[in-house]
Structure 1
Amino acid sequence: MTATREQAQTLLEQLAGPQATLRDDQWTAIEALVVHRRRALVVQRTGWGKSAVYFIAAKLLRAEGRGPTVIVSPLLALMRNQVQAAARAGVRAATINSSNVADWQDVHRAVGTGDLDVLLVSPERLNNPDFRDDVLPALARDAGLVVIDEAHCVSDWGHDFRPDYRRIRTLIGELGSGIPVLATTATANDRVVDDVRSQLGVGGGEAGGDALVLRGGLDRESLRLSVVKAGNPAQRAAWLAAHLDTLPGSGIIYTLTVAQANDVAAMLRERGHEIAAYTGATEAAEREQLEGDLLANRVKALVATSALGMGFDKPDLGFVVHLGAPASPIAYYQQVGRAGRSTESAEVVLLPGAEDREVWRYFASVAFPSEPMVRNVIRALETDRPQSTPALEPLVDLNRTRLEMVLKVLDVDGAVRRVKGGWVGTGEPWEYDEERYRRLDEARGREQQAMLDYLATDECRMTFLRRQLNDPELADSEKCGRCDNCTGAHYDATVDESAAEETRQRLMRPGVEITPRRQWPSGLAKLGVSLSGKISEGPGAGRAIGRLTDLGWGARLRAVLDGPDAEAPDDLVRAAVDVLAAWKWDTRPTAVMGLDSERHPLLIESLVARLADLGRLTNLGSLAYAVERRPVTAANSAYRVAALDGSWEMPDLSDLGGPLLLVDDLVDSGWTMTMAARVLRQAGAPEVLPFAIAAVS
């Protein structure tokens, strides 16, 4: 071995243990980056060791006096795993993302002083004004290596998922001479590989003409793939509840929507399973705790959306179940790749539903608005001063999520620019790329049909997925010998009728669980709030009548909350009573109190009075706002908690003999309930049980 390869082997042993051996193809990639300063695209299956390549390369380049490595990484769970892995190899790594706002300045300084080997950033951070203008230019000039992890997100297919991934092309174009670039992914077919090449100049084009492209085989020897057609949503959920304990170890249950994840998690907990929900709406600190619970097998499963996916590393994950089919085989392969990385066998079960196609159509329909809507956004920014996203909302016919996506795409295209204080128009001409969006729709249609074909095929399921991913090592007529079609061992799809009906009643009745916050957001000390770690004085588990997004109660709840303030209507009171009657609390509440409200004071006051009368509870009125209360506008959790601190007058609850039911109109982030419950606990309430008319998600 060359001296450099010996050093790489030593670093690998630090990273993965003394038994680890550097593969020839791993060394080929490292040599291309460190010795030859080339650009490389590595498409290898989950568990191959892509992170080892860039951490070893980063350390070797640092030893040569090169600058820090910049890793563009898409998910918080992935960043956390990467920072921990870097530390094992003696690599000094830090991250800048939405969960550590209070640490950003310290990280910026560490970059400037050369005290970091690796900086992990989200693609969105590339266009934060401070980072873009003050930090990024020096990184682009002095970086030792730039890594784009999960590079399939760079592809056209990923634009509506993370528009800021398109900005990476600009970053790479501004790199100093001789700075190597590595793009990595486990899920890329020929179309995605070609698109990544053109986007990044990796493996093709003038900038990357001599680049290295490494594509390996995508077979996963431990996965046993199965499809179970168990019927409607209630029947599928009942099937899962009946079979969950037979699945090996702990695992992940994927759903297509946040609402479904929460509903299924609540139903499984009622059946006695140790389960928690994990979605894009889950707070960063709580996500970290839930990941730890799954890693330590303290839960049987996390019921998750795609928020728990790329890069989450639990080598002994025993199973992955999908309640509903993802919209493409590529997305499906990405998610099932979480299982069986160090086990001989792992179960992968797909429970498709007839409604899956409606979900696919919905997400496709909101991917990117029509040209007139986009033109409205551009016109709204034809002013002399920046406008924030909330200020723009009333001016354009788009909700917050779609508006933010449009602004990001327009920013990447140069029509608008993000600055301190919001967004401004650039005055540059902008063309609606109808051809690209047409190609996207056609690609979606093909990949959705491929997913339907996967459900119906009688051939080897692993071979089917590998063909969809253009696996270069797939041989003709190859079979995995493990899936249900290869072995003939199919799960029984029969569902007990009484269990299915019980599940249907559970999913259709009013009432959704409000999961309490368990962990304070990081960085509060820097904002003058002395709270950290686990929450000890927060509320218990709560309930809401329904979600604003529910098919059943959603429209009625939106009508009540969007309309003028009025007394609680009878149907709302009856639903609230039904929810409270079904609540299996350890100790029944003895009193009820409302949260002070600027939007719906009469609605909350009347509902509190009716519940007190019907439930024979002491009516304690409202938890009043403090005179010095500050308006809460921040979306970031740490700043939100800081703004809520001191928002209410401290009541006297020293004589309260039991739990207190706390009523609000709407639960979104959960921090208002958490901070209000803290005040009530400090005032003498032995327990606070949250109750809301509606939950956002």
Structure 2
Amino acid sequence: MPGSSSLHEDALAILRSLTGREEAQFHPGQFEAIEALVARKERALVVQRTGWGKSAVYFIAALLQRRAGAGPALIVSPLLALMRDQVAAAERAGVRAVAINSANATEWRDVEQQLADDTVDVLFVSPERLVNPRFRDEQLPRLVSAMGLLVIDEAHCISDWGHDFRPDYRRIRDLIAELPAGVPVLATTATANARVVADVEEQMGAGGRSVFTLRGPLARASLRLGVLDLGTTWRRVAWLAEHLDSLPGSGIIYCLTVAAADDTAAALAAAGHEVLPYSGRTDAAERLQVEEALKDNRVKALVATSALGMGFDKPDLGFVVHLGAPSSPVAYYQQVGRAGRATESADVLLLPGPEDREIWHYFATNAMPTQARADAVLGELASAGRPLSVPALEARVDLRRTQLELLLKVLAVEGAVAYEQGGWVSTGRQWVYDRERYERIAAARLAEQEAMLTYQRGESCRMAFLTQQLDDPHSAPCGRCDVCTAAWYPTTVTVERMESARATLDRVGVPLAPRATWPSGLDRLGVTVEGKAVKGRIAPDEQVLEGRALARLTDLGWGGRLRELFRSDAEGRPVDEELPPELGAACLRVLKEWDWEQRPVGVAWIPSASRPRLVGTLATGIATAGRLALLGPLWLDPAAGGKGPGSGNSAFRVRDVWQRFAVPPEMGAALASAPGPILLVDDLADSRWTMTVAGRLLRRAGAPAVLPFALASVA
């Protein structure tokens, strides 16, 4: 390799080409990292704040390696949006960059040919590609043998302790161990505390290699932090509606749930603001359009979930507001780091909510595997004797799709299962549930939640607190936040805005789409009719119509009141009470606004083992107010099925409720002569299979139509 002086000149020339600025110079630490990779072939971990220029390090190192005769760099990157921006940035610097991911499957053959022709400098892949059989067997060995540089972007994803742990990232440890001697490795992140750094260093050191770690100061001088506790949801939305235009430039409003993002976007649009929603449910093509609208400043804000995260790059983003707090200061730092990357000042404001803890708990309890779930999956794969797809496994184990997919990734990383053409198989390797490890992780998550509450109390400089949570030795008071100075944001909301926001969020009526097809695998679970398998489309004369729920549990409007109604006591037992009058009035509004083809003539209800008073008073109140025939509850056999609402996936949910209910004779007689639809009432609609199975019984007993109605919908 050329000497250090020559290397610096070559690297600086590439930097100036990358930035398009002839006067560009390296930030402190950038060239040191490049030198470690190119001149000394080291393994380097770079922990630097957002906007420092970590991507410049690996682009420059990759091109210098190529000029020295090495093969292409492999960059493992977690988000498609991130890849798009990075490929475009690489091309501006004359770096030939391509990507292989789920969004460009039609281009894979072209990319493979470019790799075969050695005309690629940088290949971006998602961590999920590392488990793909074809990529793993055909492309990866060739890449490893000729690789000039391995880059692990957003390296905190490797660690159990990282705020955005991803099981597929754990495969990188094995990839590092397979690298030929002399292949440099770079890991980059802006969000790693000491524990994450130690974990990543241990994995990068596979094979006994030392790791060069470069940590810079993480404080962001451009950010002005604040916290404003307004209490109720409508006061928070009213504040945004009143003061959004006073925030600088365009920005992001983060929400904790999809429903909250949709509700907030609708409320702000109704108040005259140019905003768009963005979440994991946003179509992939639409996501790109929405991102471009913000980048081009055609909207004031995107109202987003964490789906708009590491992959989004808008250097002049003027503000980030959180409607509800993330569960850890590290995750919060990562999200607010989107703002002020190329501006002297950007505003960051947190509007915490009383529902935050409940949401944190929900996501935390779904994040890690349990012994029972793992044993069930491993047992089914071992007994199958052939690869099983995820849908096939769903019919055999009592897990929802997202839980099952996450568990399979964890088991695959730990060597207990493998993905082959056609599905998942057991490797036969013994797997032991590491209870101590998962308990430590759970304890760490709780500690992070408490730290987030401490941040909100504002006992010290907010920027210093965040950087201390990242174990930054350079932490110091920022002199800009609302603790160091004073509240830089307005704290009042006019009565008119509050009333307007409350009226907007007071909307009622969530559609409950009818199920039209039975889930696969019911015959394996013993769900049959007269000895025949239940499968395919649900017979038209056994289907229910589209139903309604008062609201979702996650809604900003009625969600909080419903979550309180569905609370449990100190021993974890469901609290059962009569329907509160204000909720009863809201239910009658739903019925009044329901655009049904024919008004119902009677009310039946699904008996509840946990909240019989609630369901009974709801159904009776509706029948009385609407002057409808009160048909009573279905019969309930508590011993049949018995797992109750919220259990498992669709096939297991149907199994649980298939024999659970029956139509009493007196109800059957009334149904046979009913001149119109029957309203079927329940407390909570989760999977909608309880309504589907119970509605089928009413239809078979003679009901001309069934209209499901629930107090709350889970989704």
TM-score, length basis structure 1: 0.73
TM-aligned CA deviation for residue 112 of structure 1:
2.4
User: Which residue is 1:530 aligned to?
Assistant: none
Does the 8 A contact of 2:163 with 2:330 survive in 1? no
Give the deviation of 1:498 after TM superposition. Answer: 4.5
How many angstroms does 1:375 deviate by? 0.6
Identify which of 8, 11, 15 aligns with 2:18: 15
Distance 1:548 1:423 in 2: 35
Taking a change above 3 Å as real, the CA distance of residues 573 and 492 of structure 1, as seen in their structure-2 partners, is: closer
Structure 2 counterpart of 1:150, which letter? E
Determine helix, strand or coil for the equivalent of 1:459. coil
For residue 572 of structure 1, report the CA deviation from its aligned partner.
Answer: 10
- Partner in structure 2 of residue 110 of structure 1: 114
Please give the alpha-carbon distance, in whole angstroms, between the structure 2 residues aligned to 1:168 and 1:185: 15
Give the direction of change, closer, same or farther, for the CA distance of 1:497–1:31 in structure 2 (3 Å limit): same
**Could you say which residue in structure 2 is the equivalent of 1:489?**
487
Corresponding position: 1:186 with 2:187: no
- Alignment deviations for residues 303-332 of structure 1 (CA, whole Å, 9 cap, x no partner): 111111214221111100001111111111
Between 1:458-467 and 1:297-306, the stretch displaced more is 458-467
Out of 488, 500, 506, the residue aligned to residue 504 of structure 2 is 506
Aligned to 1:53: 57
Partner of 1:302: 302
Give the Cα separation in 2 of the matches to 1:580 and 1:184. Answer: 54
1:410 matched to which residue of 2? 411
AA aligned opposite 1:319: F
Match of 1:92 in 2: 96
Task: Find the aligned partners of 1:265 and 1:513 in 2 and give their Cα distance.
Answer: 19
> 1:483-537: per-residue Cα shift (whole Å, max 9, x none)?
01111135343333443343234224235799xxxxxxxxxxxxxxxxxxxxxxx
- Structural mapping, 1:364-375, within 5 Å: 364-375=364-375
For each residue in 1:403-429, what CA deviation from the matched residue of structure 2 results, as whole angstroms up to 9, or x when unmatched?
000011111111111111111111111
1:2 Cα offset (Å) = 1.8
- Aligned twin of 1:126: 130
Write the deviation string for residues 276-310 of structure 1: whole angstroms up to 9, x where unpaired. 11112222222211111111100100111111121
What is residue 262 of structure 2 aligned with on the other side?
Answer: 262
Q: CA deviation at 1:160?
A: 7.3
Give the residue type in structure 1 aligned to 2:394: E
Equivalent residue, structure 2, for 1:662 = none
Distance in 2, Cα, partners of 1:11 & 1:490: 41
Alpha-carbon distance between aligned partners in 1 of 2:551 and 2:176, rounded to the nearest angstrom: 43
CA shift, 1:150, in A, is 0.6
1:545/1:576 contact within 8 Å kept: no
What is the distance in 1 between the residues matched to 2:9 and 2:313?
Answer: 27
Distance 1:546 1:183, change over 3 A: farther
In the alignment, which residue of structure 1 is the partner of 2:386? 385
Matched, 1:41 2:56: no
- Please give the alpha-carbon distance, in whole angstroms, between the structure 2 residues aligned to 1:508 and 1:448: 30
The superposition leaves residues 549-580 of structure 1 with CA deviations (integer Å, 9 ceiling, x where unpaired) of: 7566999xxxxxxxxxxxxxxx9998487377
Give the counterpart of 2:5 among 2, 10, 17.
Answer: 2
Comparing 481-490 and 353-362, the one that deviates more: 481-490
Deviations 1:316-352 (A, max 9, x none): 1110000111111111111111111121211100001
CA gap 1:553/1:324 in 2 versus in 1, 3 angstroms: closer
Within-5 A mapping of 1:568-583: 575=590, 578=593
Assess if the C-alpha contact under 8 Å between 1:545 and 1:579 holds in 2. no
Counterpart CA distance in 2 for 1:545 and 1:443 is 37
Question: Is the alpha carbon distance of 1:573 and 1:392 closer, same or farther for their aligned partners in structure 2, counting shifts above 3 Å?
Answer: farther
Structure 1 segment 69-218 matched on structure 2, within 5 A: 69-158=73-162, 161-201=165-205, 207-209=208-210, 211-218=211-218
1:575 and 1:157 mapped to 2: Cα distance? 45
TM alignment of 1:536-685, pairs within 5 A: 550=554, 575=590, 578=593
Identity across matched positions, percent: 58
Counterpart contact for 2:550–2:590, Cα < 8 Å: no
Distance in 1, matches of 2:146 and 2:479, equals 50
Amino acid at match of 1:10: A
d(CA) in 1 for partners of 2:311, 2:409: 25
Residue by residue, what CA displacement relative to the aligned partner does 1:560-607 show, whole Å, maximum 9, x if unpaired?
Answer: xxxxxxxxxxx99984873779xxxxxxxxx9xxxxxxxxxxxxxxxx
Question: Partner of 2:395: helix, strand, or coil?
Answer: helix
Give the whole-Å Cα distance in 2 for the aligned partners of 1:579 and 1:67. 64
How many angstroms apart in 1 are the aligned matches of 2:158 and 2:340?
27
Matches within 5 A, 1:421-570: 421-474=422-475, 478-510=476-508, 550=554
Structure 1 residues 492 and 458 mapped into 2: Cα distance closer, same or farther (>3 Å)? farther
CA distance in 2, matches of 1:579, 1:502: 23
Question: Partners of 1:243 and 1:446 in 2: how far apart?
Answer: 33
CA contact (8 A) 2:508 2:551 kept: no
Task: Tell me which residue corresponds to 2:695.
Answer: none
The amino acid across from 1:180 in the alignment is P
Per mean C-alpha deviation after superposition, the further-off stretch among 60-69 and 232-241 is 232-241
The whole-number CA distance in structure 2 between the counterparts of 1:72 and 1:322 is 29
> 1:192 Cα shift?
0.8
Change in 2 beyond 3 A, CA 1:373/1:159: farther
- Per the TM alignment, residue 470 of structure 1 is displaced from its structure 2 partner at its CA by 1.2
1 CA distance for matches of 2:250 and 2:92?
Answer: 25
Question: Separation in 2 of the partners of 1:468 and 1:572?
Answer: 46
Sort the Cα spacing of 1:24 and 1:494 in 2 relative to 1 into closer, same or farther, 3 A.
closer
What is the DSSP-based 3-state SS (H/G/I as helix, E as strand, rest coil) of the residue aligned with 1:119?
strand
Q: CA deviation at 1:436?
A: 1.1
Q: Please tell me the residue identity of whatever aligns with 1:71.
A: I
Equivalent in the alignment of 1:633: none
Supply the AA of the counterpart residue of 2:152.
I
Partners of 1:40 and 1:182 within 8 A in 2: yes
- Say yes or no: does 1:227 pair with 2:227: yes
CA distance in 2: counterparts of 1:547 and 1:314, whole angstroms = 35
1:639 matched residue in structure 2: none
> In the TM superposition, what are the counterparts of 1:17-32 in structure 2 within 5 Å?
17-18=20-21, 19-32=23-36
**Conserved 8 A contact 1:75-1:307:** no
Q: Is residue 236–residue 351 contact of structure 1 (8 Å, CA) maintained in 2?
A: yes
Once residues 101 and 547 of structure 1 are traced to their aligned partners in structure 2, the CA distance between those partners, rounded to angstroms, is: 39
1:548, distance to aligned residue in structure 2 (A): 7.0
SS of match in other structure, 1:450: helix
Structure-2 separation of matches of 1:72 and 1:549: 37
Measured at CA, do residues 510 and 42 of structure 1 come closer, stay the same or move farther in structure 2, by a change above 3 Å? same
Query: Structure 1: any 5+ residue segments left out of the alignment?
Result: 515-542, 556-570, 582-590, 592-665, 669-692
Over the aligned positions, Cα root-mean-square deviation in angstroms equals 3.0
Q: Is the 8 A contact 1:215 1:472 kept in 2?
A: no
Name the CA shift for 1:113/1:546 in 2 (closer, same or farther; >3 Å): farther
Q: How does 1:290-369 map to 2 (within 5 A)?
A: 290-369=290-369
**For the residues of structure 1 that align with 2:215 and 2:69, how far apart are their CA atoms?**
31
The structure number with the bigger radius of gyration is 2
